[in-house]
A and B are shown apart, each in its own frame.
Chain A
């Protein structure tokens, strides 16, 4: 099969998200699921997105894929630009994803082909009535003009890459004949089958047990090297972030509160919310250290506090925090934070 040569330019922008606002229009009112988030994903890097449930991390991913349940939820403002990597020495022009029709063939051509996604639930992400092989072959043939035998060979190859034993036989098995870990591997195989340049992984290992989790993550990282793709890893598990991510984005109620290199996030968290997250990680071997939970709970999306959304739970909140939302600052190079403490 003619594998397109992707020239990896690590550090070059792959996807740029500018001031993204995604809102849901519900009976009770408007939910600002993503509220002015800006970041970019670089080629060959892993961006970790952390935050509590409902902070907008999955919705950000769905916005990039344009898979929001429109018109109920839609991008109201902002721009998502996709820069396809250089292929065969030809520079591709950038695509404004927000300007595309979500049903258009151009958007369908990006989904799966350039940006692939894997989901949290490996149990239900595969169609129960088809064999795993059929579904991977379908994905390959959707995007590449190849015959079934070639697609099948590619499916076996990619199943082997995700460490599924005996792929020639397993390819003709139904999803219910596989374990949860194997199904998630099969999903990753399907996502990789078309050589995507960005893999969005929405809590890929949350539903799996810890040993399988570790193996799958390691496998994903190896394959990232091999395929030279970027990963947007959505999780609430800071351990996973520590293992996988190069850059970390911390979200809270639809807003980006902090963004930095993974080392800085763990060693020098600036935002009180990030600091709280770090204090709540259990560490094996540190007996006397008590876990400190973040007090309070996430505010209701219909009744957001004025000023900084984290202020009601923040141990260091000042008067100003309750009045005005903090702007984003860059206290050290490459480390962004939205907090009045650093203004």
Chain B
């Protein structure tokens, strides 16, 4: 036999082909951002969400025309007053104005009726002083984005049964509804990813126990479970406490889906060579889970989170609509919609359904945004 060692000893030397150094490659983040921007619907959704959070969660008092809790006996169930630019004579006004509202008692039905008084015009002023509210719940201030001088009124969305300005209430309600979604989702992410990772990484008995709990949670009908948990909340709890408890209740049911998906991801990652390689380099389990697996699952978790916020908002709305969630005097969209439970109310005062429109808008925007993020984060989508 010939000497094999000699025969394969001489490798052909190939010169290292110079790589174009400057043809910069984009980082993963830049690629995701580009793909996201291409999706118009998702960008629109993102902008709406951003506006909602700035207007409703951060500055509801400033953007609202009145204090959301001010009651007016003379303006019960007032219809929406729209800003006008053109008066009866067809004259154009650069500064919009609203007509005055006359309230009369209709002796036939014994109800207050509101008549638009076109002889009175109240110009709309921007950045104006009005009713007092608390900024961030701390500072007393009375600056509003827009408003009219008393005795004029400007109810953009009309008023409710106690004469409270619905527009201001929708913004204030959005603060609660949108935050419940966010807080609930953060809790969902923590519970879901921790339990999902443990379940997937360790497997065996631990996996079995967690998965059976997930199945148990999933087999409960949503609304009765929430109702039972919400009913168990002590009524003497402070609004903030109740609010937090509602978020916890919502996320207690919601983490199961995420846990399953994270588990599946981790099961796949566990077999990945880099996980074994990290082990071979002497990394501990905790390190492999936290440093190597979670960042890989992060894009997935973010997408799931974005897609489950609307579920949370809807859940809060249904709970509050049924009177089991947020309790007045705190407002949420669900609380506002409680007033629209009767058909007669809806027929005569359709503006009370406006909070529902905001629920739809928020949920749709979140779904578009989540879809966009999912497509952008998935390197294989095209």
Contact = CB atoms under 8 A, between A and B. Distances in A.
Partners in one complex: yes
A112 B281 contact: yes
B280 interface: yes
B277 A125 contact: yes
A266 B21 CA distance: 45
Contacts of A177: 25
B150 interface: no
B96 to A, nearest CB: 52
A16 interface: no
B282 A165 contact: no
B11 A119 contact: no
A296 B200 CA distance: 41
Interface in B77-131: none
B14 A174 contact: no
A190 B281 contact: yes
- Which interface residue of A117, A127, A177 has the most chain B CB atoms within 10 A? A127
Interface in B261-316: 272-274, 276-285, 287, 291-292, 295-296
Contacts of A215: 11, 14
Contact of A116 (B16, B280, B291, B292): B280
B313 to A, nearest CB: 31
B216 interface: no
A168 interface: no
B28 interface: yes
A12 interface: no
B12 interface: yes
B11 A110 contact: no
Interface in A144-171: 165, 169
A284 B281 contact: no
Contacts of A190: 277, 281
B1 interface: yes
A117 B277 CA distance: 8
B35 to A, nearest CB: 16
B343 interface: no
The CB with the most chain A CB atoms within 10 A, among B1, B273, B274, B282, is that of: B282
Given A112-B280, A119-B277, A211-B11, A103 B285 contact: yes
Contacts of A187: 277
Contact of B276 (A113, A119, A242, A283): A119
Max chain A C-beta neighbours (<10 A), residue from B2, B9, B11 = B11
B276 A67 contact: yes
A243 B7 CA distance: 10
B280 A281 contact: no
Nearest to A187: B277
Contact of A283 (B2, B274, B291, B296): B2
Contacts of B283: 108, 112, 138, 142
Interface string A207-249: 0000100110010000000000000000000110011000000
A249 to B, nearest CB: 17
A234 to B, nearest CB: 14
A287 interface: no
Nearest to B4: A242
B302 to A, nearest CB: 13
Contacts of A262: 5
B176 to A, nearest CB: 36
Query: What bracket does the count of chain A residues touching chain B fall in?
Result: 35 or more
Contact of A119 (B2, B273, B292): B273
Contact of A142 (B1, B274, B281): B281
B377 to A, nearest CB: 12
Nearest to A102: B279
B9 to A, nearest CB: 7
Contact of B1 (A117, A174, A278): A278
Interface in A96-121: 103, 105, 108-113, 116-117, 119, 121
Contacts of A138: 281, 283, 291
A129 interface: yes
Interface string A292-317: 00000000000000000000000000
A177 B27 CA distance: 10
B8 interface: yes
B14 A211 contact: yes
Contacts of A211: 11-12, 14
Contacts of B295: 129-130
B18 to A, nearest CB: 9
B100 to A, nearest CB: 63
A124 B272 contact: yes
Contacts of A266: 1, 3-5
Contacts of B281: 111-112, 116, 138-139, 142, 190-191
Given A243-B8, A266-B5, A112 B282 contact: yes
Nearest to A120: B273
Interface string A249-291: 0000000000000100011000000000010010111100000
A238 B1 CA distance: 14
B2 A111 contact: no
B276 A281 contact: no
B275 to A, nearest CB: 8
A309 to B, nearest CB: 25
Pairs of residues from A and B, 6 with the lowest C-beta to C-beta distance, nearest first:
A214-B11, A112-B282, A112-B281, A111-B282, A117-B280, A124-B273
Given A126-B277, A190-B277, 5 more contacts: A108-B283, A109-B282, A112-B280, A119-B273, A242-B4
Interface of B: 1-5, 7-9, 11-12, 14, 16, 21, 25, 27-28, 272-274, 276-285, 287, 291-292, 295-296
19 contacts: A108-B284, A110-B282, A111-B282, A119-B277, A125-B273, A125-B277, A127-B274, A128-B274, A139-B281, A139-B282, A190-B277, A211-B14, A238-B4, A239-B8, A243-B9, A266-B3, A281-B4, A283-B2, A284-B7
